[in-house]
Copies of this chain bind each other. A is one copy, B any other.
Amino acid sequence: MGFDSHRTHTRKIGSAPGTLIDLPVTSPSRLWAVHYRGEEMHEHLDIDLDDARALVSADSVTWIHIQGQPDRRLLDRLGEVFDLHSLALEDVQSLVQRPKLDVYQEQLFAILNLPRWNGEGVELEQFNLFMGEGYVLSIHAGEEEVVQAVRRRMAKVRTRLRTHGADYLFYALMDLVVDQAFPVLETFGEEVEALEEVLLERPSRDLLSAIYQHKRNLMILRRQLWPTREVVSQLMRGANDEEYFAPDLQPFLQDLYDHTVHIMDLLETYRDVVASMLDVYLSSVSNRLNDIMRVLTMISTIFIPLTFIVGVYGMNFGNNTKSPWAMPELNWYYGYPLVWGVMLLIAAAMTIFFRRKGWLGGSR
Contact = CB atoms under 8 A, between A and B. Distances in A.
Contact of A310 (B153, B186, B312, B330): B312
Interface residues of A, number: 118
A150 interface: yes
B208 A280 contact: yes
Contacts of A215: 276
A87 B186 CA distance: 22
B313 A339 contact: no
A5 B215 CA distance: 21
Interface in A258-304: 258, 261-262, 265-266, 268-270, 272-273, 276, 278-280, 282-287, 289-290, 292-294, 296-301, 303-304
A277 to B, nearest CB: 8
Contacts of A331: 320, 322-323
A185 B3 CA distance: 11
Contacts of A304: 299-300, 303-304, 307
A269 B310 CA distance: 60
B336 A325 contact: yes
Interface of A: 2-4, 6-7, 10, 13-17, 85, 87, 96, 98, 100, 102, 104, 146, 149-150, 152-153, 159-161, 172, 175-176, 179-180, 182-183, 185-186, 189-190, 193, 200, 204-205, 208-209, 212, 215-216, 219-220, 223, 251-252, 254-255, 258, 261-262, 265-266, 268-270, 272-273, 276, 278-280, 282-287, 289-290, 292-294, 296-301, 303-308, 310-320, 322-323, 325-327, 330-337, 339, 357, 359, 364
Given A212-B280, A317-B339, A325-B336, 17 more contacts: A6-B185, A6-B266, A7-B186, A13-B180, A16-B172, A85-B251, A208-B280, A212-B276, A282-B283, A303-B305, A304-B307, A307-B307, A318-B319, A320-B335, A323-B331, A323-B334, A325-B334
